[in-house]
Amino acid sequence: MHLTNEEEQILKGESGEGTQRAMELLVAIGEAFDAERMIPVTRAHAASSGQEGDLYFVEMLAKGGARCKIPTTTNPVVSFEYFQNIMDISEEHEEASVAWKVKHYYKEIGAVMSQSCIPYLAENIPQYEEHVAFSESSATPYVNSVIGAFTNRESIQTALAAGVIGESPEFGLHLPENRKGTVLVRVETELRNSFDYSLLGQYVGKKLGSGIPVFDGISKRPSIDQYINLCAMMNVMGAIPMFYIPGFTVGARTVEEAFMGSTHRDKINVTHYEMKQTNEELQTTNGDIDLVMLGCPHYNLDQMGEVAKLLDGKRLRPNVSFWINTSATTKIMAERAGYVKILEDAGTHVITDTCVDMFCFNNMRGKTGMTDSPKCAYYRRFGNVRVASLKECVAAAVEGE
């Protein structure tokens, strides 16, 4: 890899040990992927997980004096402020201690403590053709495909390192020639709601594993949460860093344009049968529920409005708890819109800064939960799960079946 004098100096440790470690990682990745040089990136999102591996790297960089050079947002971990009022999350608890330190070091390194898994909607929005370094399952394909920025599918560590250096190795999706479609996905079934987009993402991610799908047959512009669900699930079940829905996403107006002249292409079909089978595979029970978990990825303002409308004037069934995860930014706007009052009057918890895969939900082990998110089902801390649309989750929590 060709490095500039300045980059060589950082690599030798002239800018401090933390910055040196960040550069070492980026150069090693660049060499592994045959990058010829580093290029500037202007924003990053580190999908901080609040777990051991995350702590190891951010602590090493922060203690070594590294500081973020470009806006670098963070993923949700846990809201200590919220949970300390309703359960024992003392710092002696091992997972709590790790999570607390992770938040501490991200703050120290100068990251933006957005603690949201949908930062591209509010706290950290890339522009068209801006080169960035975004990790997080929904973030990478959303940023590449819906916004038209350029990012590789980063890990927490490479995104954080890019945030510190302000550069990324130039390979993969930073190069226009690598952004051509690889698989034609013919959608031969109606996509009725956001949950159907989750099922589509689940099926396509699992079936393809990797590549750049080009969807054909989607005739209506997906809503923002439909895009988010598709993006998230393609990267839980597979590693799909971008996709095309010609006519709606950026970069290609037709299927042919999305393939950029490439004739080597695979093809899969998604019919009602694949969607039904995918749905059935997600369910581990059809019995009574103890809880509903929403907001994985974090609910945006439209979704907060939707769930508030469904719960307006209603009360949850006794012994059913209802959890809605969102970002601090969204919660403020949802409060102004009156949604949070409706939701709290109905008996729900509206939580910010928190991921469903955190120790604060450990007391749900053994309970039966329901969610509109196959991603939540995958990472759940509760026992059996039913996965269905938001409307069905609310119906189960309020009326039983």
How near is the Cβ of 36 to ligand F3S at its closest, in Å? 34
Q: What residues numbered 291-350 form the site for ligand F3S, per CB under 6 A?
A: 296-298, 325
CB of 50 to ligand F3S, least distance (A): 9
In one-letter notation, the amino acid at residue 290 is D
The contact pattern for ligand F3S, residues 205-244, with x = CB under 6 A and - = no contact, is: ---------------------------x------------
* H or E segment and range at residue 269: strand 266-270
| Nearest distance, CB of residue 357 and ligand F3S, angstroms | 5
Which own/partner pairs from 91-96 qualify as long-range (CB within 8 Å, at least 24 positions apart)?
93/359, 95/50, 95/51, 95/358, 95/359, 95/362, 96/359
CB 303 within 8 A of CB 392: no
Measured distance CA(166)–CA(152) in Å, rounded: 15
Compute the half-sphere exposure of residue 72: CA atoms within 13 Å on the CB side of its CA: 31
Q: How far is CA 399 from CA 295, 314, 318, 348, 373, in A?
A: 21, 10, 10, 15, 20
Residue number, 66 or 360, with CB nearest to ligand F3S: 360
CB of 14 to ligand F3S, least distance (A): 36
Q: Which of 153, 375 has the CB closer to ligand F3S?
A: 375
Nearest to 383 by CA among 398, 371, 395, 397: 371
Q: Choose between 75 and 226: whose C-beta lies nearer to ligand F3S.
A: 75
Cα–Cα distances in angstroms (integers) from residue 225 to residues 24, 26, 47, 198, 323, in the given order: 37, 32, 19, 10, 18
Total number of residues binding ligand F3S (CB under 6 A)?
13
Element (H, E) at 186: strand 183-187
The reply to whether 379 sits near ligand F3S by the rule CB under 6 A is yes
Question: How near is the Cβ of 138 to ligand F3S at its closest, in Å?
Answer: 7
The yes or no reply on residue 375 touching ligand F3S (CB under 6 A) is yes
When asked if residue 82 is in the footprint of ligand F3S (CB under 6 A), the reply is no
When asked if residue 364 is in the footprint of ligand F3S (CB under 6 A), the reply is: no
Does the protein bind ligand F3S through residue 357 (CB under 6 A)?
Answer: yes
- Site membership for ligand F3S, residue 158 (CB under 6 A): no
Binding site for ligand F3S (CB under 6 A): 75-76, 117, 232, 296-298, 325, 355-357, 375, 379
